[in-house]
């Protein structure tokens, strides 16, 4: 039976996770800035592009997208408005629920995503620990 972590160890581990997240987001923002994107902007494009590559559509309801990218609906709405202004996504009414709004990746959004994807993945590779290596103590 594994020993239970002390509260202090648990808190330190949590702070390490937060620090890694903060450092990684800062690195992503710096790298993506030259392409007119921030980390959250790219994450929305990435989720939409991933959906499109699975053979499905390339649209998400705003609520579904908010859950995938871990933003509040209001923050996501502002972000989507910026991406729409830049021609990277469009918003469309849901055919099955007229109150709902879908976010759709445009051809320009797909192209920007493809251009920036290698850069984003390189930052993630550099910043995130290799899961196959033993954890540092």
Q: Which range, 1-5, 100-104, 120-124, is most confident?
A: 120-124
pLDDT of 25 higher than 90: yes
Q: Contact at 8 Å (CB) between 52 and 46? A: no
Please calculate the CA angle 32-61-39 and round it to the nearest 5 degrees.
Answer: 15
Confidence (pLDDT) at 55: 46
Give all domains of the chain, ordered by start, each with its CATH number. Answer: 11-127 (1.10.10.10)
pLDDT tens, residue by residue, 56-86:
455 788 888 999 999 998 999 999 999 999 9
Phi-psi label, residue 95: left if phi above 0, alpha if psi -120 to 50, beta otherwise:
alpha
- Average pLDDT estimate for 19-41: 96
Burial 51-63 (b: 16+ CB within 10 A, else e): bbeeeeebbbebe
Q: Annotate 18-75 with DSSP letters as a single string.
A: HHHHHHHHHHHHHHHHTTT--HHHHHHHHHHHHHHHTTS-SEEEHHHHHHHHT--HHH
User: CA 77 to CA 63: how far, in whole Å?
Assistant: 10
């Amino acid at each position: 039976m594994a020993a239970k972590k002390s509260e202090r160890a648990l808190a330190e581990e949590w702070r390490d996770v937060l620090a890694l997240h903060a450092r990684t987001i800062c690195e992503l923002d710096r790298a993506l800035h030259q392409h007119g994107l921030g980390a959250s902007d790219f994450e929305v494009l990435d989720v939409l592009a991933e959906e499109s590559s699975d053979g499905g559509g390339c649209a998400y309801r705003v609520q579904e997208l908010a859950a995938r990218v871990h933003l509040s609906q209001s923050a996501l709405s502002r972000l989507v408005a910026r991406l729409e202004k830049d021609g990277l996504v469009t918003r469309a009414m849901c055919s099955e629920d007229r109150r709902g709004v879908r976010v759709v990746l445009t051809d320009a959004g797909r192209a920007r995503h493809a251009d920036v994807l290698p850069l984003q993945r390189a930052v993630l590779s550099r910043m995130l620990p290799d899961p196959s290596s033993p954890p540092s103590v």
